[in-house]
Amino acid sequence: MLIEADGGSRGNPGPAGYGAVVKDAATGEVLAERKAFIGIATNNVAEYGGLIAGLTAAAELGASTVDVRMDSKLVVEQMSGRWKVKHPSMQPLNAEAKELAARFSRVRYEWIPRAENSHADGLANEAMDAGATKKPEPAKKIVKQDRVSPVGWTGATGTPTKLLLVRHGQTAMSVDKRYSGRGDVPLTEHGKQQAAAAAKRLGAMEGLVVDGEVAPIIASPLIRTQQTAQAIADALGGRVETHPGLIETDFGDWEGLTFKEAMDRDPDFQTNWLSDTSIAAPGGESFDGVHRRVRKARDELIAQYGGRTLVLVSHVTPIKALLRMGLDAGPSLLFRLHLDLASLSIVEFYPDGNASVRLVNDISHLS
């Protein structure tokens, strides 16, 4: 992936902000944008803030190698190890950036002219514009808050967006253990019973109906998730919305096949697919692609409903992707985490970038 990052200060030191954009290195597609106002700071502090935000976003997206492009000669040279970090305010930021960079198998830094860094520069200026009316705070304090602020056990600050993640109930495809991605199959009678049990569980939970307002219930557009979501909406007195980003992986030519049938058909390809999340099923979608799609959906939902509790009814891979984001884990989690039909998991995402996984694969309501 490609990271473009920048930061600026109107006064140096003065009101400061940063911006970062993560792109697909091959296509130039924008995968993530980050920006923040950080109070009174120098240009260099803001530039490091942009780098840290970009590295964090790339790690969350599952990048293994990254090219960083910045118009800050100082940051590029210090991160490349050619210049010493002498200023006390730079040392902790440099150390934090290096700790993040160590998560990747390779990070390459490149200085570019400011004119070629207009996207990140624009984000930094948007952040400074948005923060112009805010009361300035010490730079060191604000930069730390963007990563982790020492409040409570987790260090998370602000009101989290709580996601109650419900997997759909049983279908005929799940009974036969067949690849079931975009195929639009309904719930079985047992699946409807599972959906009703999950609905009863959520109906008894606190915080889903506040002052008569029901928490948003958002489902994948496929019928099996909409049926499960509707049972929950009926129990709570709400309504179902859909979001295309919550749809299951597109398994392409393997749709409807059992694992053995797919292995018999494409033995070498299936083996490679199971060991590399960047490989897509024939005619389908890679797990890396799913992760990017679900991250975008999560960001859109938080932008719309930030600080609230949401019920998301989805499928195995999207739910695993959201839990992976909450755990800040690598792609191997996809193959090591089991999620039952009609199970409930809970993850919270905080506005300061922290997250907390509260529950995974609870099926107590099905017993």
> What whole-number distance in Å separates Cα of residue 249 and Cα of residue 316?
9
Residues 216 and 312 both lie in one domain: yes
57-108 pLDDT tens trace? 998 888 889 999 999 999 999 999 999 888 776 788 999 899 999 989 999 9
CA atoms within 13 A on the CB side of 157: 10
214-250 pLDDT tens trace? 999 999 999 999 999 999 999 999 999 999 999 999 9
What is the model's pLDDT at position 206? 83
Residues 42 and 185 both lie in one domain: no
Residues 59 and 177 both lie in one domain: no
Residues 355 and 206 both lie in one domain: yes
What is the model's pLDDT at position 155? 54
What is the model's pLDDT at position 79? 95
Residue 134 has pLDDT above 70, yes or no: no
> What whole-number distance in Å separates Cα of residue 163 and Cα of residue 304?
13
Q: Which residue has the higher pLDDT, 46 or 143?
A: 46
Residues 165 and 127 both lie in one domain: no
Q: How far lies 356's CA from each of 57, 120, 151, 158, 234, in Å?
A: 17, 29, 14, 13, 29
In a domain, 147, yes or no: no
What is the model's pLDDT at position 360? 96
**Which residue among 131, 151, 176 closes a domain?**
131
21-32 pLDDT tens trace? 999 999 999 999
Residue 303 has pLDDT above 50, yes or no: yes
Burial of 326 per CB tally in 10 Å (0-12, 13-18, 19+) = buried
Using an 8 Å Cβ cutoff, are 276 and 305 in contact?
Answer: no
What is the model's pLDDT at position 361? 96
In a domain, 145, yes or no: no
* CA angle, 19 then 146 then 358, to 5°: 120
Using an 8 Å Cβ cutoff, are 354 and 148 in contact?
Answer: yes
DSSP-based three-state secondary structure for 185: coil
Residues 230 and 357 both lie in one domain: yes
| Catalytic residue ranges | 168, 248
Residue tagged 């989690």 (tokens) = 333
Residues 109 and 7 both lie in one domain: yes
Burial of 305 per CB tally in 10 Å (0-12, 13-18, 19+) = middle
In a domain, 140, yes or no: no
Residues 275 and 355 both lie in one domain: yes
**Which residue among 89, 115, 131 closes a domain?**
131
In a domain, 141, yes or no: no
What is the model's pLDDT at position 145? 33
> What is the share, in percent, of the chain residues with pLDDT greater than 70?
93
In a domain, 138, yes or no: no
> What whole-number distance in Å separates Cα of residue 329 and Cα of residue 321?
10
Q: How many structural domains comprise the chain?
A: 2
Mean pLDDT, residues 172-193 taken together = 94
Residues 232 and 105 both lie in one domain: no
Range of the domain at 33: 2-131
Residues 169 and 108 both lie in one domain: no
Q: How far lies 117's CA from each of 11, 110, 112, 141, in Å?
A: 21, 11, 7, 27
In a domain, 112, yes or no: yes
CATH number of domain containing 65: 3.30.420.10
In a domain, 169, yes or no: yes
CATH number of domain containing 198: 3.40.50.1240
Q: Is 224 annotated as a binding residue?
A: yes
In a domain, 231, yes or no: yes
> What whole-number distance in Å separates Cα of residue 331 and Cα of residue 47?
29
> What whole-number distance in Å separates Cα of residue 9 and Cα of residue 61?
28
Runs of H (alpha helix) within the chain:
43-60, 73-79, 91-101, 118-130, 139-147, 172-175, 189-203, 223-236, 259-265, 267-275, 287-305, 316-327, 333-336
Rounded to a whole number, what is the distance in angstroms from the first to the last CA of the chain?
Answer: 45
Residues 120 and 166 both lie in one domain: no
Partners of residue 164 on adjacent β-strands: 311, 346
Our separate counts of H helices and E strands in the chain read 13, 13
Residues 127 and 165 both lie in one domain: no
> What whole-number distance in Å separates Cα of residue 232 and Cα of residue 342?
11
